[in-house]
Amino acid sequence: MEKEDSGSKDGVDLVVKKSPISGSGIARVHVSVLPTVEVEEGKPALLRHGNKERVVRLVADEMMDEGKVSLRQKDLEKLRVKAGETVTLLPLKGVGSMLGINLKPFRRGEKR
């Protein structure tokens, strides 16, 4: 029996659609999904399928089917998910702010 992740109060379950574009790291969702998970377009988010997780950058698309997420082949493989299965989209809380604060001294042209 396969354990299905029902998501969490911070996330949303989406049905996987295979992207025709090769590569990895980008997930396309309908524009209505972003406010649901409190994530801005272009920012990192977490996709979870069972015990597998993958960080992706979200792209909002009005032409994308609501309730679906388009994933590229490498992301499908890493999550071990197939088209038609469900993944949970979660925000990466605190990661952006932590990286922004912790990496400032390492940016080019800035002194410590």
Q: Quick check: helix, strand or coil at residue 67?
A: coil
**Please, which residues bridge with residue 108 across strands?**
none
Residue 69 lies in a domain: yes
pLDDT at 101: 47
What tens-digit pLDDT sequence spans the chain (112 residues)?
A: 333 334 455 689 999 999 999 889 999 999 999 988 888 898 899 999 999 999 999 999 999 999 999 999 999 999 999 999 999 999 887 655 445 544 445 556 655 5
Residue 111 lies in a domain: no
Residue 57 lies in a domain: yes
pLDDT at 73: 94
Residue 88 lies in a domain: yes
CATH number at residue 82: 2.40.40.20
Residue 94 lies in a domain: yes
Amino acid identity for residue 2 in this structure: E
Residue 94's domain comprises 12-106
pLDDT at 94: 61
pLDDT at 103: 47
Residue 19 lies in a domain: yes
Q: To which H or E segment does residue 97 belong?
A: helix 95-102
Q: Using the Cα atoms of residue 39, residue 80, residue 87 and residue 2 in order, give the sign of their dihedral.
A: negative
Buried b / exposed e along 26-64 (16+ C-beta atoms within 10 A): bbbbbeebbeebebeeeebbbbbbeeeebebebebeeeb
Residue 7 lies in a domain: no
Number of domains the chain is built from: 1
